[in-house]
Amino acid sequence: MEPYKHETGIVVPLDRVNVDTDQIVPKQFLKLVERTGFGRYLFNDWRFNPDGTLKPDFVLNQPRYNGGRILLTRDNFGCGSSREHAVWALADYGFKTLIAPSYADIFHNNCFKNGVLPIIINEQIITELFQEVESHEGYSLDVDLQKQTILKSDGTQLEFKVDEFRRKCLLDGLDDISLTLLHEDSIRAYEQRLAPFQLVNSGK
């Protein structure tokens, strides 16, 4: 996966609590066999009418948030089923940064495994950010994972904390497979040491 170091982008406010993974990407769209292509189904039931036309009141369909890269939301984001496709859809749409007071545990873990940074900020600051986004069209934030800071346009700096191992993995672009391959030489050496015993046990 691509390393995450620094992100600057328009903030998209999704002012809802308990957004579950079936709303993030409905179950009927889970048939794709690759991680790409899910972005067009993100929040499908909220974005589109049954005939496929856009619902103008939904935040992603409002022109002022076009090109938004940072999703601001409320408590318990990503609850419900454990489908990893929810994170794939967010990333494929362009959201590499999420800001919320809390996330469902499995969803939170899946974010780090797919290059998405789920920032946790306390509820009061979240509410203030929602108010600022509403008041200023084109409101953007600058997120620095290396420093674990969020810089607002007025120069105010917010701090957040990420588990050090997860932070390093995001900075270096390491998913589970990449982490395993870091030990490729040791794995190969182990298999070579084990090979004679496997032959004996197989009767050859």
Q: What is the mean pLDDT of residues 135-139?
A: 96
User: Does the pLDDT at position 84 exceed 60?
Assistant: yes
- What does the alpha-carbon distance between residue 113 and residue 96 come to, in Å, rounded to a whole number? 12
Provide the pLDDT confidence category of residue 5 given band limits of 50, 70 and 90: confident
What are the structure tokens assigned to 148, written together? 């674990």
Going from N- to C-terminal start, the domains of the chain cover 6-173, 174-204
Helices (H), 40-163: 44-47, 85-93, 105-113, 123-135
Q: What is the mean pLDDT of residues 148-152?
A: 97
Q: What's the pLDDT at 34? A: 81
Please, what is the average pLDDT of the chain? Answer: 90
- What does the alpha-carbon distance between residue 153 and residue 11 come to, in Å, rounded to a whole number? 12
The type of residue at 35 is R
- What does the alpha-carbon distance between residue 125 and residue 129 come to, in Å, rounded to a whole number? 6
User: Does the pLDDT at position 181 exceed 90?
Assistant: no
Q: What's the pLDDT at 191? A: 63
Q: Strand 70-72: give its sheet, edge to edge.
A: 117-120, 97-100, 70-72, 6-13, 140-144, 149-152, 157-159
71/181: higher pLDDT: 71
Q: What's the pLDDT at 199? A: 55
SS3 readout for 117-130: EEEECCHHHHHHHH
Selecting from 3.40.350.10, 3.30.70.2190, 3.20.19.10, 3.40.630.30, what CATH number does the domain 6-173 have?
Answer: 3.20.19.10
Percent of the chain with pLDDT over 90: 78
For residues 47 and 65, the answer to whether their CB atoms sit within 8 Å is no
- What does the alpha-carbon distance between residue 70 and residue 97 come to, in Å, rounded to a whole number? 5
